[in-house]
Structure 1
């Protein structure tokens, strides 16, 4: 029970069949949950309170690969596409998760889906990136318009432009290589001018492309 909770809420563990031979990556965290289980006679409220107050949970940013459902839902939220539900295009969204390896309500076995890094292979990664890039590339999406509006009405240096987009898209914490690529793109266009309507209109393609680069980064695949 403790390891399942850790795997779901904190960080990806090896697949369940391997648990008998592969130890937990954070034995102390598992032991803390086991102790909470016995101390409370199996009271899940106490166990979950222990988990959510633990250092392992508080420091668990970007340690889990997003499931296809999490990725699609996050991209739809980012684009402001959820609106009133249900929507006719919901079928297309469920088809997208299927192409990424997760057919909703239909796991491959009673064990469920193999999660973590097993969500990712050459084909599914391509589907994930294409879905995200295509969705945020539509400047008519309310969420994209919101990001453009929240960048302000003045000039932004390449560094300010990059940092603002990372914050508005996530926030997304990127590594040095990804940050370098984003900065290189931002610097190639110089200062981002949002000081008037004409300048803003000319800057929109740069903003959209920056957003697309962020959602196609390896860091965006993690939650």
Structure 2
């Protein structure tokens, strides 16, 4: 039985896509076997280690630095930020553990955090990676105790007699229950419970400072006790609304931007009954018949990072200049480790507007062919000036972008007699429409056709 369409869909959602060679090898696998192998490939945890050397974590008073010291500090921070960004894009682009990285990307946005310390950002990212397929309660507790999150949501300043409610509020609104499922009084009582949660500014380790912790009785979500932060997390996860909230976000990420209440309820049952274990939940989704419904295939807009990583995996692209990848992310509106706010990137259709769509459609030809689709046929004298200008533009793009796709490797995976339509069917997730079929049925070599296909609006969908 040829399952290639469903396996392609599975890899588009549970990873960043599948190469032609891999799809050919797996096309007769059952969905059950494909899912099992997907999880098997993601068992290994490969942490990022881009920012490790000579890190001085001690806080420095920026105002007391000389101009030269400020310049050096900013230079170091920029270099670390680029190194971390580049390392993660590279890891997503080449690692077999696609599912773990795809879920790390989900948790990276769920626990949106933006602090000017790449070491703390890397630590948070590695915690999200280590627990990406593990237990949500463990992940939630560990994330809440990172210097990155304690600093970003001001819990470092949360002390008895002067409670700071920022972390307590976002914990419920954005990380667990969602708006409308707690009161302002719950926020106040939760904030009191998290007093004393802090980190050591010298070495960045978590520490509980009992001196500034409020040891009084608190009433939270209808329960009364001398709560501390861990108790609050237990009460929150004891409420099934947390399972429903997480499953709704996951449904939007993996299945459809418009949640189906029945499917989300099924997911929440599995998640809650399995004590917030993430792997059984994901297996349930990937093995559900409705995951493969026609209306759930090719209907999600790729995030900028998914678009870039998908191209990298598909065409084995290497970048000699990592700055370019960050520039692409900036222009498309998603720079890793720099979410716009604590709510993260809204995602979905909001990724696309008229200017970003034009830029998105230009990116494949920029990377794969220095910004130009091959001119086929004999050039007339009038064309010569145009072609000369195009060649000059190509050289400029090559110098700027410094990206090298491995066309030989990509083309070697294609069967000898493959049709242009079959290539389009493989590269695009949605069903082919007449416009695409007409476009690819024109004469042209395979490379030209591939660049045309990846430059369509349909290629933006997964």
Q: Could you tell me the TM-score, scaled by structure 2's length?
A: 0.36
In the other structure, the counterpart of 1:10 is: 255
Query: Are the counterparts in 2 of residues 98 and 104 from structure 1 also a CA contact under 8 Å?
Result: no
What CA deviation, in whole Å up to 9, does each residue of 1:125-183 have, x standing for no partner? 11111111222225995532234344555xx5xxx531342256x36444322333234
Q: Does residue 27 of the first structure (1) align with residue 290 of the second (2)?
A: no
In the other structure, the counterpart of 1:222 is: 461
Q: How does 1:1-223 map to 2 (within 5 A)?
A: 1-13=246-258, 24=259, 26-59=260-293, 60-82=296-318, 88-137=320-369, 141-151=404-414, 160-166=418-424, 170=427, 172-185=429-442, 189=443, 206-223=445-462
CA distance in structure 2 between the aligned counterparts of 1:148 and 1:173, rounded to whole angstroms: 23
Query: Are the counterparts in 1 of residues 304 and 334 from structure 2 also a CA contact under 8 Å?
Result: yes
Q: Which runs of 5+ in 1 are unaligned?
A: 14-23, 190-202
Residues 217 and 35 of structure 1: CA distance in aligned 2, closer, same or farther (over 3 Å):
same
Higher relative contact order, chain-length normalized (CA < 8 Å, sep 6+): 1
Query: Are the counterparts in 1 of residues 317 and 405 from structure 2 also a CA contact under 8 Å?
Result: yes
CA distance in structure 2 between the aligned counterparts of 1:37 and 1:152, rounded to whole angstroms: 42
The more displaced of 34-43 and 59-68 is 34-43
Q: Which runs of 5+ in 2 are unaligned?
A: 1-245, 375-402
CA distance in structure 2 between the aligned counterparts of 1:4 and 1:97, rounded to whole angstroms: 23
The more displaced of 207-216 and 54-63 is 54-63
What is the RMSD of the two structures over their aligned residues, measured on CA atoms? 2.6
SS of residue matched to 1:113: coil
Rg larger in structure: 2
CA distance in structure 2 between the aligned counterparts of 1:92 and 1:48, rounded to whole angstroms: 34
Query: Are the counterparts in 2 of residues 75 and 136 from structure 1 also a CA contact under 8 Å?
Result: no
